Amino acid sequence: MAETRNPSRRRDDGRRTQLIQAAARVIARDGIAAATVRRIAEEAGVPGSLVHYWFADKDELLEEVLLADLDAISTAVAEAADTGAAGGGDDLLDRLRAAFHVIEQDDRGRQILPYELTTWALRKPEFVHVARKQYAAYRELGTGTISSWTNATGVQLPADVPVVGQFITALFDGLVLAWLADPDNTDVDAVLRLAHDLLKPSVPDTPETSDVS
């Protein structure tokens, strides 16, 4: 009886990662509809048969693109938020600004890519779990940012940390999409300041020291 080979267990000479990166470039540059096996193979500079060697089909490759993109975004945004905190005295606004700066500095097509892959996953019942994993990671990132801020400042939040984390995550996700669609009329900094101001009033006042006569 023949044994079914699992591509993930094959010895990788770097080609699998090469194909994932090539697929990401095609989608970022030309859109998901253009990401055919042939185009991806051409982008990677390899025969089309190699795509099928590493992936059961194009959908499996697109799933890996989304997961790789998720890791890259989460790492970059988390590092930026930490840098913003270090440079801004543990201020939430500085964390949010630094995180959004990652988006602004990146390639436009590269930022559209995760939204395209999200809708692709949601349209395929067998890949809905990928979109859920994507947004679970976003929520974890947002909750981590809020948790770090509250630990540094002692802020009294209007809701539990996970709920505020979801609020920040949804705000940030929608803001990025709005900015991509209409950058001239999306006042990113004003929205981030508003989010900060809605939460900042709950920071406990430092008791004043009474004068001793």
Burial bucket for residue 53 (CB in 10 Å: 0-12, 13-18, 19+): middle
Query: What per-residue confidence (pLDDT) applies to 156?
Result: 87
Q: Check: pTM over 0.85? Answer yes or no.
A: no
Q: Are 158 and 199 in contact (CB under 8 A)?
A: yes
Question: Is pLDDT at 186 greater than 60 in this prediction?
Answer: yes
Helix or strand (DSSP H, E) at 29 = helix 15-30
Least confident of 30-39, 69-78, 115-124, 155-164: 69-78
Query: What per-residue confidence (pLDDT) applies to 79?
Result: 81
Per-residue confidence at 75, pLDDT binned at 50, 70, 90? confident
Q: Are 102 and 80 in contact (CB under 8 A)?
A: yes
Residues 6+ away with beta carbon under 8 Å from 45: none
- In the predicted model, what is the mean pLDDT of residues 22-50? 95
Query: What per-residue confidence (pLDDT) applies to 132?
Result: 95
Tokens standing for 41? 């193979």
- CA–CA separation, 65 and 127 (whole Å): 13
Closest CA to 146 of 190, 194, 96: 96
Least confident of 30-39, 78-87, 147-156, 189-198: 78-87
- CA–CA separation, 79 and 171 (whole Å): 19
